[in-house]
């Protein structure tokens, strides 16, 4: 697939003006194929560059928030003495981490839509609280999409970090305490270095998951400047003549961003 994307990203098809065939007397168009960096250059201009940057910014925001919130929830689950509670949280995380696309978009539209959302109407009628004006939460904008993405990223973080937290041996905490370390010192000098690789790996996983998400954002706001939505527009034929392979160039831009993160991981 990467080879195919590389080939299409640098391929450019040019169609000449129609000429009359001397035999059939019909007008025909001739196409020529060349290879250049024009598609890549076009993908880094205008709305395409804006969409790429917006996707990166959104992914960074939700990755950091999802990692922190998910880490806290995973720590609470691991340290809980209730087995039933741990099973409930783990099962719920497994379901919601794989819940996305059109159903997730419908869930949030029905709940937080500016005009007819259940939660929006309830807060306005009972507390005179506007989701848009008072909470500055607009579902089709960056703030709303961040909340939607966190719905499946936080559970994903819980699933990834729970085994790592369970790998912390109680003997380490007891040894640190016997040596005079406080609880904060234990987490800073013992637990944190052990958990850091898993945490950073999960952070990169959350970034890549949100960076490649498409269906949920498209269902909420099909005109929002995300690179995945731009690729869909290109594949739907919404481009100028000679830019048919612009979608492959945008996909290559995404690979260039994700590949270093994969190497780091």
Radius of gyration of the chain (CA): 25
pLDDT tier, 16 (very low <50, low <70, confident <90, very high otherwise): low
pLDDT (average), residues 95-116: 88
262/253 Cα distance (integer angstroms): 15
66 pLDDT above the threshold of 90? yes
pLDDT tier, 15 (very low <50, low <70, confident <90, very high otherwise): low
Residues of the chain with pLDDT > 70: what percent? Answer: 91
pLDDT tier, 21 (very low <50, low <70, confident <90, very high otherwise): low
33 pLDDT above the threshold of 70? yes
Q: What pLDDT, on the 0 to 100 scale, is given for residue 99?
A: 86
SS3 labels along the chain? CHHHHHHHHHEEEEECCCEECCCCCCEECCEEEEECCHHHHHHCCHHHHHHHHHHHHHHHHHHHHHHHHHHHHHHHHHCCCCHHHHHHHHHHHHHHCCCCHHHHHHHHHHHHCCCCCHHHHHHHHHHCCCCCCCCCCCCCCHHHHHHHHHHHHHHHHHHHHHHHHHCCCHHHHHHHHHCCCCHHHHHHHHHHHHHHHHHHHHHHHHHHHHHCCCHHHHHHCCCCCCHHHHHHHHHCCCCCCCCCCHHHHHHHHHHHHHHHHHHHC
Both tokens of residue 43? 């993908």
pLDDT tier, 23 (very low <50, low <70, confident <90, very high otherwise): low
Q: What pLDDT, on the 0 to 100 scale, is given for residue 1?
A: 87
pLDDT tier, 241 (very low <50, low <70, confident <90, very high otherwise): low
Q: What pLDDT, on the 0 to 100 scale, is given for residue 153?
A: 95
Residues recorded for the chain: 265
State phi, psi for 213 to the nearest 5 degrees.
Answer: -65, 145
Tally of CB atoms within 10 A around 9: 23
Residues of the chain with pLDDT > 90: what percent? Answer: 45
Q: What pLDDT, on the 0 to 100 scale, is given for residue 18?
A: 65
* Residue 136, burial from CB neighbour count under 10 angstroms (0-12, 13-18, 19+): exposed
Q: What pLDDT, on the 0 to 100 scale, is given for residue 127?
A: 84
Q: What is the pTM (predicted TM-score) of this model?
A: 0.85
State phi, psi for 37 to the nearest 5 degrees.
Answer: -95, 20
pLDDT in tens, 179-232: 998 888 988 999 999 999 999 999 999 999 999 999 999 999 988 999 999 999
């Amino acid at each position: 697939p990467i080879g195919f994307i590389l080939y299409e990203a640098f391929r450019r098809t040019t169609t000449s003006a129609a000429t009359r065939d001397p035999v059939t007397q019909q007008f025909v168009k001739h196409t020529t194929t060349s290879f250049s960096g024009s598609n890549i250059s076009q993908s880094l201009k205008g709305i395409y560059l804006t969409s790429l940057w917006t996707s990166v910014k959104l992914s960074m925001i939700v990755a950091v928030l999802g990692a922190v919130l998910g880490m806290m929830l995973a720590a609470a689950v691991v340290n809980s003495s209730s087995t039933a509670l741990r099973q409930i949280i783990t099962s719920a995380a497994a379901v919601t981490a794989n819940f996305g696309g059109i159903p997730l978009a419908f869930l949030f539209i029905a709940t937080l839509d500016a005009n007819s959302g259940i939660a929006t109407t309830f807060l306005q009628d009972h507390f005179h609280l506007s989701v848009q004006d008072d909470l500055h939460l607009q579902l089709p904008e960056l703030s709303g999409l961040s909340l939607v993405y966190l719905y499946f990223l936080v559970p994903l973080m819980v699933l990834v970090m729970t085994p790592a937290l369970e790998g912390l041996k109680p003997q380490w905490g007891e040894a640190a305490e016997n040596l005079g370390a406080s609880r904060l010192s234990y987490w800073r000098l013992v637990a944190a270095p052990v958990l850091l690789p898993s945490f950073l790996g999960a952070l990169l996983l959350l970034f890549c998951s949100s960076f490649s998400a498409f269906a949920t954002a498209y269902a909420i706001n099909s005109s929002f400047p995300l690179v995945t939505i731009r690729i869909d527009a290109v594949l739907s034929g919404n481009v100028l003549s000679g830019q048919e392979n612009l979608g492959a160039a945008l996909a290559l831009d995404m690979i260039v961003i994700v590949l270093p993160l994969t190497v780091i991981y």
